[in-house]
Structure 1
């Protein structure tokens, strides 16, 4: 891979896609910023793209040799639309694919786990990013951030379980390395921040930094599932509530050195992100 290639960033207006596109262009790489929304990334070439509209795929892939893949949001079976696109991408000359998955979804698991499992068979150069839960869930447009701003409450079924929350800027920094380093990782990469925090810890830090009181309200799995079902499809709501239940059981209570190892600097703390984004 060389700096003269072209990277297609799918979901270029999203949390990690926008940051990945921005970091790539800042480093001098040519980027095609793909999105359904006409909200171009500075320095990138905007291109219309919709996972569910194959008529947008060929133009997006034209001249591309690398692709950053954000799965379609809220789709319990993203492989149905992603795999035909990936086969088309390989035929069109894409050499490297970097897929955004989740620390909560293993290879061959539900949702994007099926795409993860098949990616190495489609591309010789690849990586799967498996970040922990985003710190931006509490600062951006996620339901947690909305309820924090509106009511000063974080609702979860995570109990006292801890999570190695990670900054989306750090995820993007790893994505850039995975896309542009001479050697592709050819593995999956679990990304976390520097510490594992409970949602009680999260509420305390936000309160301390912003001086606005925030509390964590604990729900049962069933209560969380039903709360989510009011906003998203029932099957996806059940999966997300089950992820909360897994956190309560300790599934995400870990930290890794991946961000530091690939970027050369330590991952940002949650307090630093709150100071940057919520003050």
Structure 2
């Protein structure tokens, strides 16, 4: 069997997330069908991180095993010919059997884009609109408590299937651009809805509905009911996945 890794980008607006669903349109469903056209055999795709309904990916990584032998161009141009315009394979390569798209990943980076404006901008469809002004410095200061290794149960979806709620955040930066902002969050792994739940609580601080110290109290409580609502999916993108250098996965996006 040959193991192939693909680099993938997609606009999540029209998808019910990554993972295949019997009743809905998912990225995994569309990609599996397109790959099987080339492979001419059934196969199973494994991804680095299962994105939720409406969440986007700038750099998603998947792998699959198959008996067919095809040139790497077939897994890029050939597969893209069968994909909708909102999904694109960026690169493909043969990898060792030891490579695993999920378990070989060292860390993941997400970005959450948002903008504050009295009216909604239809051209900012990959960002979340906040109607009221935000205190960005308060949000930045409050987020400092999240760095390091913590039990993130307070920001974990009730349907989360992770064996442990403990995760490590290596960096969390709030970047201001001319007409929008984004949080860039780098961690070893993430719980279901974790980033969107963190954003909901950070927005409470930014809107001065809660003090900066409140976020740390919520984190230490491990109680999801004390945190704010889950923020919308449209502002969230899986931005980058880091692997050991010897796998050469970054080549898929160059």
Task: Give the number of the structure whose residues are more often strand, by fraction.
Answer: 2
| TM-score over 0.5 (shorter chain) | no
Q: Which has the higher contact order (CA 8 A, sep 6+)?
A: 2
Q: TM-score, normalised by structure 1?
A: 0.28
Q: TM-score, normalised by structure 2?
A: 0.30
Task: Give the number of the structure whose residues are more often helix, by fraction.
Answer: 1
